[in-house]
């Protein structure tokens, strides 16, 4: 197996990805780590590994655990509350 091309969490430039796309895709598949591709330093694409059926249940369970442990806070009322007028900026 070849060495890792991308360091987990470090974005890859679009030109670099283009030159070694298959190798990067294999790395995502092998490691399960997402890969962010940038265009002129701006993140534009995120490649994530595919998970078979049941992955949604696993993801929801993982988030529920993180919420229960206090790692992630979720306030259902705040999530659906309308934004104040000043939050809209030029769109108001």
Neighbour count for residue 14 (Cβ, 10 Å): 15
Neighbour count for residue 86 (Cβ, 10 Å): 7
Predicted local distance difference test score (pLDDT) of residue 1: 46
Q: Residue 44: which of 18, 12, 22, 4 has the closest Cα? A: 12
User: What are the residue ranges in the chain where pLDDT is below 50?
Assistant: 1
């Amino acid at each position: 197996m070849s060495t890792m091309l991308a360091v987990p969490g470090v974005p890859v430039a679009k030109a670099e990805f283009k030159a070694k796309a298959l190798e990067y895709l294999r790395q995502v598949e092998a490691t399960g780590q997402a890969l962010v591709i940038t265009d002129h330093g701006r993140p534009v694409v995120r490649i994530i590994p595919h998970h078979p059926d049941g992955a949604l249940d696993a993801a929801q369970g993982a988030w529920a655990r993180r919420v229960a442990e206090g790692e992630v806070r979720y306030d259902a009322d705040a999530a659906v509350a309308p934004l104040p007028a000043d939050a809209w900026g030029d769109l108001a």
